[in-house]
Structure 1
Amino acid sequence: MVILIGNQKGGAGKSTLTLLLANYLTALRGRRVTVLDMDYQQSIATKAVKAKILENEPLYEIIPSDLKHFPMLLKVLGNNQGEIVLIDLPGKMDDDGLIPVFLAGDVILCPFNYDEFSVDSTLLFALVTQKINNKAPFIFVPNRIKTTVKYDTRLEVDKVLQRFGVVTPGIADRVDFQRVNTLHIPAIILPVVLPVLDLIYESYLLKEEAK
């Protein structure tokens, strides 16, 4: 199974959500996971290097990769039965090399914030990816929600996004998210993220695997 995590807007929490899901799947669900870090900043790969310097092995393999190597990587990883491949996508969508990546996705996750720029980028990401791959379930994850966001604003945005996919419960903004790494999810944020991660896993990942 291939899960894409993407959004054009920087700061939406794409890489953090990838780490949260990778840690959750391995530590709490006992699944085999490989992360392809295709983001230009490669923050996940950097965290993995830091963990190894401290002589801590990550729970899963993290491969820094660019778009041109994706077809070969997918061919290799696709032979591993039961493997879940998480792909932290690049923040830009102006590369034709993204087309085979989008086509490979079994599930697409899109973290976003409730601000004008993030919502516009989120809609564009959804439009483009669904034109290429309209079979994969599209899941919007409201992320790093500020306490200042109005309830009516959230309802309006969710209503628009629901034309393209499902909107999960939101994840509140917490400074503790900065402590998420390739080794664990800080216990203090588990009550915040588990309802969302459980929903994604039980309602979408398991169903897609059963097809």
Structure 2
Amino acid sequence: MICLFGNQKGGVGKSTLTVLSGNYLTLAKDWPVTVIDMDYQQSISQKYEKAKVLENAEPYEVLPANLETFPMLRDVLTKNKKDAILIDLPGKLDDDGLIAVFQSADMVVCPFAYDEFTYESTVLFTVVLKKVNPAIEVVFVPNRIKANVKFETLTEVNEQLLKFGTITPVIPDRIDFQRITTFQTPLSLYAVIGPVFEQIFAKRLWNP
């Protein structure tokens, strides 16, 4: 399975969700995972290298990559169909190299927030993705959501996004997300992220 993490809007938490997913699948579900870091900032790769100095054996491998090297990586990594390949995408849609990545993916996890600019960026990203790969499964994750979101805004945004895919339970804005590493997720977060990842991955992974 190839799962993308992306949005046209930066700062919505796609890299954090990629790491959380890698940790959850390996540590909680004992599932083989490889993370491909294609984000321009390479924040996951940096976090991974830093953690390797301090921790024991890593639960999964993080590979820094660019769009040009993806076809070769894909052919190697997808030989075992049961493995989960998690890809943290670049934050822009202006590179033709994304086409091969979009076409190869089974699903995309798209974090978003309930504001007008993020909503518009999320829809743009999804429309482009669906044109390239109409069969891809889209899962929207309300991420870093504060308690003061207006109910009317939440309802209107959800109604529009449901035309493109499914929406998971909300992940609230919490300080302990800053303590995540590529080796562990704070135990205090499992009650929050568990229902989200069960919805995202259950159909594809628990029952291959």
- TM interval, short-chain normalised: over 0.9
Cα displacement (A) at 1:83: 1.1
Structure-1 separation of matches of 2:184 and 2:116: 32
Structure-2 separation of matches of 1:179 and 1:118: 25
1:60/1:192 CA distance change after superposition, 3 Å: same
In the alignment, which residue of structure 2 is the partner of 1:34? 34
In the alignment, which residue of structure 2 is the partner of 1:181? 181
Provide Cα deviations, 1:50-92, integer angstroms capped at 9, x if missing partner: 0122243321010000000000000111113421100000001
Q: What amino acid does structure 2 have at the position aligned with 1:184?
A: Q
Stretch of structure 1 that moved more, 50-59 or 88-97: 50-59
Provide Cα deviations, 1:129-185, integer angstroms capped at 9, x if missing partner: 000011011110100001121111111100000111111111111011111110111
In the alignment, which residue of structure 1 is the partner of 2:44? 44
TM-score between both structures, scaled by the size of structure 1: 0.95
SS at 2:144 equivalent: coil
Stretch of structure 1 that moved more, 108-117 or 67-76: 108-117
Q: What amino acid does structure 2 have at the position aligned with 1:206?
A: L
* Runs ≥4 residues deviating over 3 A: none
TM-score between both structures, scaled by the size of structure 2: 0.96
SS at 1:67 equivalent: coil
In the alignment, which residue of structure 1 is the partner of 2:57? 57
In the alignment, which residue of structure 2 is the partner of 1:161? 161
On the 8 A contact 2:55/2:183 being kept in 1, the answer is no
Structure-1 separation of matches of 2:58 and 2:144: 25
Structure-2 separation of matches of 1:81 and 1:140: 24
Instruction: Using the aligned pairs only, state the percent identity.
Output: 52
Structure-2 separation of matches of 1:107 and 1:7: 13
Gaps of 5+ in 2: none
Corresponding position: 1:4 with 2:15: no
The total of aligned residue pairs comes to 208
Structure-1 separation of matches of 2:194 and 2:24: 8
